Structure 1
Amino acid sequence: MSGSGQSGYGPGSGSSADYGYGSDPYGMGPSSVPSTAGPYGHADSSAQPDPYAAPGAPQTIDPYAGAYPGPVVHSRPTSAMAILSLVFSLVGLVTYGFTSIVGVILGHVARSQIKRTGEQGSGLALAGLIVGYSVIGLVVVGVAIYFVLVVTALSQSIDTISQAA
């Protein structure tokens, strides 16, 4: 090569520049970004840029993105009565069980409505029933203990009064 008078890197020298590699070392030229034109020359609206590309990196476009629709997910609505059942039952802890009665009633109505309509919220309604009945049971036990203590205190005071007289 030295005898031909060329430095070895010019056109036709067999270097990588002859094959399109030396002119754009980082691949940032216009040939590195694929065309968004569809098969008939129109712009492809389903082609989307890569959201995971590094900032400043050339954007690669996936021509097949959006070609098939994603799965259709139909979610059933959650029963409002089931939610209210749980809320009223939990508030019964503060209101000495008065709202728990409403929570239990709403829980039963919600469970029957869920069976009819196929809504979601069966677990919420069941939780509202369990919490509501538990709070009502705790209140009844608490009131019973209170009355036992009051009756015991009254009987002791009556005994002390009768012994003093």
Structure 2
Amino acid sequence: MDQQRPPSPPVQRVATDTPATIALVLGVCGLFTAGLTSVAGIVVGHVTRKNTPSQGLSTAAIVVSWVVTAMWALGWVLFLAVPLLALVGVVASS
């Protein structure tokens, strides 16, 4: 009583959007490169978004890249502004 199972259907491979993946990786790598690669992620994400039918990954790359860029920009502003404001406060009080 050996029953055979019907053959399983072939696995369909999902096409990945390589430029959008690269844009997302560049955006995330911006966390470790002071936001430099996230600027490239923004550019590649926008170019990819215009040229692909599936825009989800490209949109995610653009959003992540902008968030990382904004975090680093705010960090640099605070890093430079706090000592400058402290110096202005010391000069004004003397």
Q: How far apart are residue 98 of structure 1 and its match?
A: 0.3
Displacement over 6 Å in runs of 4+: none
Q: How far apart are residue 65 of structure 1 and its match?
A: 4.1
Aligned residue for 2:34, secondary structure, equals coil
Q: Whole-Å Cα distance in 1 between the matches of residues 79 and 11 of structure 2?
A: 54
1:60 partnered with 2:2? yes
1:145 partnered with 2:65? no
Q: What are structure 1's unaligned runs of at least 5 residues?
A: 1-58
Q: What amino acid sits opposite 2:2 in the alignment?
A: T
Match of 1:81 in 2: 19
1:95 partnered with 2:33? yes
Q: What are structure 2's unaligned runs of at least 5 residues?
A: none
Q: How far apart are residue 157 of structure 1 and its match?
A: 3.2
Match of 1:134 in 2: 67
Closer/same/farther in 2, CA of residues 93 and 74 from structure 1, 3 Å limit = same
Q: Whole-Å Cα distance in 1 between the matches of residues 19 and 36 of structure 2?
A: 17
What TM-score, normalized to structure 1? 0.48
Aligned residues: 94
Q: What amino acid sits opposite 1:154 in the alignment?
A: L
Identity over the aligned pairs, expressed in percent? Answer: 26
Match of 2:43 in 1: 105
Closer/same/farther in 2, CA of residues 60 and 134 from structure 1, 3 Å limit = same
Q: What amino acid sits opposite 2:29 in the alignment?
A: V
Larger Rg: 1
| Relative contact order, higher structure (CA 8 A, sep 6+) | 2
What TM-score, normalized to structure 2? 0.78
Match of 2:89 in 1: 156
Q: How far apart are residue 130 of structure 1 and its match?
A: 0.7
Q: Whole-Å Cα distance in 2 between the matches of residues 145 and 65 of structure 1?
A: 65
Aligned residue for 2:31, secondary structure, equals coil
